[in-house]
Structure 1
Amino acid sequence: MGETIGPRLYSCSKCGNHVSLHDDIISKSFQGRNGRGFLFSHAMNVVLGQKENRQLITGLHTVADVHCCDCREVLGWKYIQAFVAHQKYKEGKFILEKPKIVKENW
């Protein structure tokens, strides 16, 4: 019989802290500061930095950097507000950068 494993997770690549579930991925076609980024509906074990307006590829957004709560590595950002109507779906969602996270339980 196969071994039962938990849910597929993503962890901080620096310290191994669990930061999101694979099932929470909305899209894998985003661009982060350090390469590809994934859009997640939820993130866990993270803390938010200061809110700031940032000009991104898709327009002006209010965002807050997302830090691992254990090692404080910047993993991506959270969309707080989108100023363009067709970008509103991103509000409350998280970008986690692929180089900053690793797969676990795959």
Structure 2
Amino acid sequence: AGIRIVSYGGLSTGFEARVCLLCNPAPCALACPTGAFSQRKGGGVMVKNNLCIRCGECASACPVDAVYLDSAGEPFVCIHCGRCVPFCPHDCLEMVKEVVS
């Protein structure tokens, strides 16, 4: 999963979900030396894991700490698909459509 959940001391003090803000241009893509991160039309990035050298430059460049590196250094970025929502054990996540006026 590409979503990062940060705890501020447990259930009583709350959690924060850190997701990709769909930057355009995306600092993580600009920082990637191999082109594994590429800019998506409309903002955000696509990740080609076969091009990734696990350097972590993408995570360092993200202004909101939304790039998650697993124990092997493989990057994951939230793509706003909502697949994580039903798996949240505390029912804290939801997907809503933003109304554009």
TM-score (norm 2): 0.28
More helix by share: 2
TM-score (norm 1): 0.28
